[in-house]
Structure 1
Amino acid sequence: MPNMESTGQVSESGSSLVKHALNPEKTFMQVHYLKGYFLLRFLASKVGLEYFLHFFRLFIKKYHGQLILSQDFLQMLLETFPDMERQGLTLEAIYADWLDRPGVPKVAKWIGLSPSVGKGRKRKKAGLNVNFKEVMPEQLVLLLEILLEEAELSVTSLRTIKRTYDLPKQDAEVRHRWCELVIKHKYAQAYGDVEHFLIHDQAMGVYLYGELMIQEDSRQQALARRCLSLVQNEMDQSARRVVEEMVL
């Protein structure tokens, strides 16, 4: 959603432009997408999913074919459900917590993982009971990206995360973030997960080759070269050229 300022522009040809789009430094991060996903889920939780979907249909019918800004959506939502403002969910509050601030609000985060998580115990966060095993792939991606921002993670924490969420059996998006975490923290016990990803998910593995090489770790660089040697004959030619430039 564009911000509250006049970000929408229409050219003489009739095409529209939106400023403040994808940050080029975040090419491989998905937080900006997940943030919108969690904002919508948060709003839906306040009014009920059935009512929220009904509102969506009305909103699409009203603004179909138009260039809209985030305040158009939020203002109509607050007008449709006035109880939200009485709960403190004003337009200004939503912008302050979700749209004008980088990262994801704490209400959507899980912080402070401990070995007890691996035993399936529940923890309280922001007044909610959360079972850490009952999470969706999108939530796991978000969790791993938050952890990627940490400068240090202990071996115990990494081992617990892997075991708790059974990460090697998750989808490719989740496993890619897990491999990034393994590489960043040089978690040698999970190098096999990285090798498996590079061999079996070649299209998504190009970025990981670069991460392995820039760590200036001989073991990680050897892993990159070994994986390339195993799959180079079956790789897409353009991807292979990119990887060879990084690895060889």
Structure 2
Amino acid sequence: MQKILLSACVILLLASSCAPVYVPNLRNSPLFTKGGEFQGSMQVGNGLDLQGALSVSNHIGIMANYSFEDRSNNTNQNDDDDYHQHKFLEGGIGYYENDGIWCYEIYGGYGKGEASSYADYSFFSAGTSKATGKYERFFVQPAFGINKKVMHVSFIPRFSVVNFYQFKDDVTGTVVTNVNSSAKVFVEPAVMGRVNLANNHIFFTFQAGATIVASPDVYFEYRTFQLGTGVGFRFGGSASSKKETTE
């Protein structure tokens, strides 16, 4: 099953965009049931995504996410659609409610990253070039889920504001700041599923998402589809807030 998912990831990612410089990370939707829970996961397919989340009370959660990818083997051509590198780190805080099997949550946060690709950047005099862009991102991420003991499912319509504040031509060394006067807004819906094992302490997870432009004149390439699958762990929970999930 995992081989099928990984093959689908590769096919969709290759077809989704040529030389993307913005790659949305996978969504972190912890679906907490009580205070004192900690979750961590590692997923592949969108590069490498590492996610962590902690419920600091019965209704407040925090999260941290890191995304990384390095496809820099083929660098012989200046128009290499297979070339891509990115790294991105973000943190967030949010509110959650869990009532039986139904739950909802909303998180907001901020992150910074950089990415390199080959593309036709009009703000460079040389035109097509290998360039590295630095950006910041604000996000608001509501989610609505079913939180059964064996299976978790979450629909996550994330809203992101992405601002590339610097591009550097990696060939000539030219640096351009204030590339565009306005940040760009994206709607990034996704569906996440988790299969729980070992008395809810280990889970397999899979996710499919998309990127929809909500701003005009987006001047950089972005990855249209995201897929990921991986494994995670969960432990903890305060004694005062224990709540049995429904089988």
Structure with more strand by fraction: 2
Calculate the TM-score normalised by the size of structure 1: 0.21
- Decide which structure has greater helix share: 1
What is the TM-score normalised by the length of structure 2?
0.21
Q: Which structure's CA Rg is the greater one?
A: 1
